[in-house]
Amino acid sequence: MTRSPEHPDESVPSANDLLSEIRQVGADRTRGGYSRHVFTAADAELREWFTAAARARGLDVHTDRNANLWAWFGAPGPNAIVTGSHLDSVPGGGAYDGPLGVVSALSAFDLLRAQGFTPGRPLAIVVFAEEEGGRFGMPCLGSRLLTGTLPPERALALRDTDGTTLADAARAAGRDPAHFGRDSETLGRIGTFVELHVEQGRGLVHLNAPLAVGSSIIPHGRWRFTFTGQGNHAGTTLMDDRRDPMLPAAEMIAGVRRSAAAVPGARATVGRVIPIPGGTNVIASQVDLWLDARLPEPGSVRDLVAEISEKARAAAELEGCAVEVREESFEGTAAFDLALRDRLTALLGGAPVLPTGAGHDAAVLAPFVATAMLYVRNPTGISHAPQEFAEPGDIDHGTAELARVLRALAG
């Protein structure tokens, strides 16, 4: 067991111990890191692990209509203080993004119990389904369905790279797709949501501080560009006779960097490109390309994407190809509850307040309930990659502070 001054109690496992319990689950031998996606074997194993860990603590565990997991400290009720995060990952992701918020929640409950704390308000841990959108492309799937931000008919029709729909994947995992959709009963129970998360940047390293309170999340979205041309033989089709969609796709990728670099604060990324059919000796007939764009000014994200789309259309035309653009998801500015933020900052002895460019379930919940985020220092600053990291001492510190926050909110 890993011990630090922040976690002196030998009788209960620390958040670090809990994290090592799932070290093997969903390990990706091809990409490195972890690939843990909704309704896969890794997802089932993580759900079983969480259920067993929560039940061992006497918590009442159930799965809501949208496959989010809940563990209640006492009877479920209204005005609850909820903490937690997600257990899924991006393809080849790190060990901390998501799981850190879940293990620290379990460990914080242990600390509260060891202190003999009896909550005056209902307390719960939530594990949201498919926060990263790693399998079906839609981020924050569980929280969007729960809040009704995403219509269930649109969600259930989403397909993974094998063509399996979310509806079929849910059915295969024993979930009833007919139950998916806005869940007012579950949503109505949440009074306050506090999500602890590994920082996805080096803000805390520069501030030389172990923990921060979140202020806001900048607007962000995902767009799918489908370039179509004419599939053909790589050896017999002369260069002048080609309509190769890979060319405008390549132009677009380079153009995204140029367009985003010209706008202060903008971040735009092409991280996924799928040529169809994808053969070495085949000119592609279609190229699907996903754009992730984020910018502090809400209106400007769509302006930037409009500019990128226009250039993509011109590049496609030049090659005798066509392009179709589809907005897959969009989130405006998410500002966390101001009063709650101030309260946590004071409680944590003037902890720094940081904005972020990363999306979270807490942002999806923010328009409906009071939400706050705590960020734990990440010495590498890297996230969504195997090099993501948090020091064991910082994890114990974050957990102890989370316990203090829960104690103050639920006392």
Interface positions with Zn ion (CB under 5 A)? 97-98
Q: Choose between 97 and 160: whose C-beta lies nearer to Zn ion.
A: 97
The answer to whether 321 and 243 are in contact (CB under 8 A) is yes
Q: Choose between 97 and 394: whose C-beta lies nearer to Zn ion.
A: 97
Q: Choose between 88 and 251: whose C-beta lies nearer to Zn ion.
A: 88
Strands 353-356 and 211-217: parallel
CB of 24 to Zn ion, least distance (A): 20
CB of 69 to Zn ion, least distance (A): 15
Nearest alpha-carbon partner for 131 in 168, 169, 93, 159? 93
CB of 122 to Zn ion, least distance (A): 24
Q: Choose between 98 and 133: whose C-beta lies nearer to Zn ion.
A: 98
Q: Choose between 68 and 285: whose C-beta lies nearer to Zn ion.
A: 68
Q: 383, exposed or middle or buried, with CB in 10 Å at 0-12, 13-18, 19+?
A: buried
Q: In what order do the strands lie in the sheet with 267-276?
A: 267-276, 286-294, 220-228, 322-331
CB of 197 to Zn ion, least distance (A): 6
CB of 285 to Zn ion, least distance (A): 36
Nearest alpha-carbon partner for 331 in 253, 239, 216? 216
DSSP 71: E
Structure tokens at 284: 């592609």
Q: Choose between 369 and 373: whose C-beta lies nearer to Zn ion.
A: 373
CB of 373 to Zn ion, least distance (A): 10
Spatial separation of the C-alpha atoms in residues 348 and 61, rounded to whole Å: 30
Q: Choose between 98 and 245: whose C-beta lies nearer to Zn ion.
A: 98
Work out the angle between the directed axes of helices 298-318 and 246-261 (0-180°, nearest 10): 150
Nearest alpha-carbon partner for 340 in 210, 190, 223, 222? 190
Q: How far is CA 82 from CA 76, 187, 345, 362, 373, in A?
A: 11, 11, 18, 11, 12
The answer to whether 36 and 28 are in contact (CB under 8 A) is no
Q: Choose between 130 and 244: whose C-beta lies nearer to Zn ion.
A: 130
CB of 371 to Zn ion, least distance (A): 14
Q: Choose between 37 and 243: whose C-beta lies nearer to Zn ion.
A: 37
β-pair partners for 222 = 292, 329
CB of 128 to Zn ion, least distance (A): 9
* 3-state DSSP assignment of residue 83: strand
Neighbours of 372 (CB within 10 A): 25
CB of 378 to Zn ion, least distance (A): 12
